[in-house]
């Protein structure tokens, strides 16, 4: 139950043969209207994949009728041929669904620098388009097939749904198990709603939501070339959602998906929430939390169940945030191991055996707070990423 | 042969009992003059250890008669007691050698947030001071003991010597096997010379040398709280070195030590040189090379002997350097896998089995070049750093 939970959407997931490992690898989500509003957030990476370049053009008018996603290849740094493949994919979807190619978003994920097999993609699109014409396409089962088709190293599909008391619904699916970094990650997210909202309204809500959720998930510090978060509104509920209420629901939904992505991050053994309190500004809080989330030494220590708080402060010290090095408190899983830059409670009191880890850093400089979510750095991460080339 | 190669220096390395693992853990290098010139470069980390805070005060007059270094504890985030320990260490050295405590640099390395045992330190200083009064203190053996005493997770001591045709000598020792990052690393370096040079001349040469050597070693992206590179001149050769010649020798010596540090980086299986060519500026070249050197995905791929050049470009794309995403060439170990943002030679041609790896990124934006040295991210790195707490 995710992208088909809201009225006015159909989904399909099929096996096109793009993934070497086999299995579902192509999905389409269709907006049946009456509205075709859409908002998107793309990777901040300056090296952008062909589907990102294409989709940015599609978004110029804010009208999107369908989104097609494939795993098994990023279609990035594949040159003119690669762009033609993206274009042809959108054309195939347009033909299959009787819509305009200019209203079709394309998302790809997988290895960079390899051409996608267009024949396989096209055949997959035909299969998916047929499936979308059946009644089953609006069921939770169809949504689950789509959520499965976009998985790469994910071990589970990620879905979330919120039904508003006012009568509208928002649901979403996500993939991404590595490269979960700022400006998004190797992350593809499709969110649908049947609320009546314009593209501009969707855009404002989506930017606010991603800023405090997906953008603060930093599993391994790496930023993908393909990330796309899209939010489509069909208006099929007939209800004009209150913007503040919709934004709040969207934040909650995105946070749910964010934490699902964190929990399934490649090879991770701990989910770490790094909260910076009393920063002089929100950017300061995010900067400090992100620096800690990117410290290989901190992340390996957490893997080893070692509450090595010196590695936290060493990471804080690399930032330009406002702080007094000898005015910082650090607590790990509730044990205040450092107060005002001096040892406080014995580190031996910290229990790091649970998967969930909380690190609280109090800068005592203001009243702004931010949390960045990350994972530990494990043998399994090294294994997956040294072996993964497909 | 290293810090005693230049005339006018004595060295000692003793076992003070600070390292849980046992072994040599305290070293003193004494400048016997006639000059007491000195220059230092400290960590750029804003969270600085007590010995760094102390040594910065010592350097205010550029006069240094001795440097004392210990492994077995960083003496960082240890508060007032920790600062008193550093101060008392300098006083003990002063007493033992008949010099002023204000002319004694102190360096420490090890775990953050734990007090050093001052009684052990003091006893070690007494032992070292006695050793320094013997003829053996100016031998290569004494220098080797000192180089061994500063090792933490290093597997070998690092030493280098250059004898100038003009008659002066420069020699150095280094420690550091992790946290080898910009603004230096968990790296302690002592360099001595018998050339006649003022502290200002040493400072200019040292800053130029560290900028293109130690500062471009980025093994794991982490920056230490304790890094110190010191350069002491005794003038004992009586020769006023040509500044340009001295600087060139110092750059070569620092590069030699840098590559020794890289080769011994914690758990590494590959030494990777990332060269960025034809950047619009030197900072651009460094920024791009450093971004690649910090990509966990790139580093794990190299560990897996996987020439995954998409991960190189994905890292380049996170920077603000001047480049056209579709104007970049990438070569790995001599095979041009990407030309102008498109696949060129098959990645299967790249042989990554040797320890040395060359990545050349051509931005085609100007004529500036820089190299950053890094390592791969391995199981052994994770093991050492998840277990290491001492």
Domain parsing of chain B, residue ranges: 9-263, 271-387
**Cβ-based contacts of A112 with chain B (< 8 Å):** 308-311, 313-314
Q: In what order do the strands lie in the sheet with B37-42?
A: B37-42, B228-233, B188-193, B169-175, B158-163
A225 is catalytic: no
On the question of pLDDT at A78 being above 80, the answer is yes
- A382/B377 CB distance under 8 A: yes
Nearest to A297 among B179, B310, B338 (CB): B179
Nearest to B310 among A77, A296, A387 (CB): A77
CA trace torsion A60, A64, A70, A76 (10° rounding): 0
Nearest to A314 among B47, B310, B385 (CB): B47
- B303/A386 CB distance under 8 A: yes
Give the active site residue among A86, A186, A210, A228. A186
According to the model, what pLDDT value does residue B113 have? 87
According to the model, what pLDDT value does residue A183 have? 37
The CA-atom distances, in angstroms, between A369 and each of A211, B147, B277, B368 are 14, 45, 41, 41
CB count within 10 Å of CB B367 equals 9
Over residues A8-36, the mean pLDDT reads: 95
Q: Give the residue ranges of DSSP H helices in chain A.
A: 50-58, 79-97, 118-132, 140-149, 199-212, 243-263, 282-293, 296-303, 309-316, 379-387
**Cβ-based contacts of B343 with chain A (< 8 Å):** 77-79, 113-115
Give the active site residue among B78, B122, B186, B213. B186
On the question of pLDDT at A29 being above 80, the answer is yes
Give the chain A residue whose CA is nearest to the CA of B382: A300
Give the CA radius of gyration of chain A. Answer: 21
- B271-387 shares the fold of B9-263: no
- pLDDT block averages, 10 residues each, chain B of length 390: 93 95 94 96 89 96 96 91 97 98 95 93 98 96 96 90 95 75 62 96 96 87 84 97 96 93 88 97 95 91 92 91 94 96 93 96 97 91 69
According to the model, what pLDDT value does residue A184 have? 35
Residue A175 is assigned to a ligand binding site: yes
Element (H, E) at B175: strand B169-175
According to the model, what pLDDT value does residue A390 have? 35
According to the model, what pLDDT value does residue B186 have? 66
The burial class, CB within 10 Å (0-12 / 13-18 / 19+), for A335 is middle
The percent of residues above 70 in pLDDT, for chain A, comes to 96
- The question of ipTM being above 0.85 is answered as no
According to the model, what pLDDT value does residue A225 have? 84
Domain A9-263, architecture per CATH: 4-Layer Sandwich (3.60)
According to the model, what pLDDT value does residue A179 have? 47
Element (H, E) at B331: strand B329-332
For residue A97, give both structure tokens.
């669904």
Q: How far is it, in rounded angstroms, from Cα B151 to Cα B149?
A: 6
According to the model, what pLDDT value does residue A180 have? 44
**Cβ-based contacts of B342 with chain A (< 8 Å):** 77-79
Bridge-based pairing of strands A228-233 and A188-193 is parallel
pLDDT digits (tens, 9 = 90+) for A197-236: 999 999 999 999 999 999 888 877 777 888 899 999 999 9
Pick the CATH number of A271-387 from 3.40.50.880, 3.10.20.340, 3.40.50.620, 3.40.50.300: 3.10.20.340
- B113/A347 CB distance under 8 A: yes
CA trace torsion A381, A383, A389, A390 (10° rounding): -80
On whether the CB atoms of residues B381 and B300 are closer than 8 A, the answer is no
Sign of CA dihedral B372, B383, B351, B339: negative
- B220/A113 CB distance under 8 A: no
Q: How far is it, in rounded angstroms, from Cα B24 to Cα A276?
A: 40
Count CB pairs under 8 A between chains A and B.
200
Q: How far is B1 from chain A (nearest CA, A)?
A: 32
Give the chain A residue whose CA is nearest to the CA of B291: A222
Q: How far is B238 from chain A (nearest CA, A)?
A: 42
Over residues A149-153, the mean pLDDT reads: 89
| Short-list B232, B223, B137, B119, CA closest to B180 | B223
According to the model, what pLDDT value does residue A204 have? 97
Over residues A76-91, the mean pLDDT reads: 95
Q: How far is A57 from chain B (nearest CA, A)?
A: 18
B120/A379: higher pLDDT: B120
C-alpha A332: how far from chain center:
26
- Quick one: pLDDT band at residue A338, thresholds 50, 70, 90? very high
Over residues A110-138, the mean pLDDT reads: 95
Residue B266 is assigned to a ligand binding site: yes
Q: How far is B38 from chain A (nearest CA, A)?
A: 26
pLDDT digits (tens, 9 = 90+) for B130-143: 999 999 999 999 99
According to the model, what pLDDT value does residue B185 have? 41
**Cβ-based contacts of A225 with chain B (< 8 Å):** 310, 313-314, 317
- B343/A301 CB distance under 8 A: no
């Amino acid at each position: 139950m995710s992208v088909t939970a809201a009225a006015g959407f159909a989904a399909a997931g099929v096996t096109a043969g793009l993934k070497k490992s086999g299995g579902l690898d192509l999905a389409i989500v269709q907006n049946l209207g009456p509205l075709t509003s859409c908002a998107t957030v793309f990777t901040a990476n300056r090296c952008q994949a062909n589907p990102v370049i294409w989709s940015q053009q599609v978004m110029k008018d804010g009208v999107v009728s369908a989104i097609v996603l494939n795993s098994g290849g990023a279609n990035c740094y594949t040159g003119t041929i690669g762009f033609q493949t993206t274009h042809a994919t959108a054309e195939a979807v347009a033909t299959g669904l009787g819509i305009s190619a200019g209203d079709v978003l394309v998302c790809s994920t997988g290895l960079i620098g390899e051409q996608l097999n267009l024949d396989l993609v096209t055949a997959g699109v035909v299969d998916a388009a047929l499936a979308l014409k059946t009644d089953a396409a609006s069921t939770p089962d169809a949504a689950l097939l789509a959520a499965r088709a976009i998985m790469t190293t994910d071990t589970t599909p990620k879905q979330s749904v919120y039904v508003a008391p006012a009568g509208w619904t928002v649901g979403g699916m996500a993939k991404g198990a590595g490269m979960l970094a700022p400006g998004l990650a190797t992350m593809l997210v499709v969110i649908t709603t049947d609320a009546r909202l314009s593209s501009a309204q969707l855009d404002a809500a989506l930017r606010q939501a991603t800023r405090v959720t997906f953008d603060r998930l930093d599993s391994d510090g790496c930023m993908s070339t393909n990330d796309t978060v899209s939010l489509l509104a069909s208006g099929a509920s007939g209800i004009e959602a209150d913007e503040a209420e919709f934004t709040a629901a969207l934040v909650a939904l995105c946070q749910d998906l964010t934490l699902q992505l964190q929990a399934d991050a490649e090879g991770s053994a701990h989910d770490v929430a790094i909260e910076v309190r009393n920063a002089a500004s929100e950017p300061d809080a995010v900067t400090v939390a992100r620096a800690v989330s990117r410290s290989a030494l901190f992340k390996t220590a957490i893997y080893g169940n070692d509450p090595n708080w010196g590695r936290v402060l060493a990471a804080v010290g690399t930032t330009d945030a406002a702080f007094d090095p000898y005015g910082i408190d650090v607590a790990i899983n509730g044990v205040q191991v450092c107060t005002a830059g001096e040892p406080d409670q014995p580190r031996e009191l910290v229990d790091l055996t649970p998967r969930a880890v909380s690190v609280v850093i109090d800068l005592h400089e203001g009243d702004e707070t931010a949390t960045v979510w990350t994972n530990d750095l494990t043998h399994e991460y090294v294994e997956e990423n040294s072996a993964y080339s497909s």
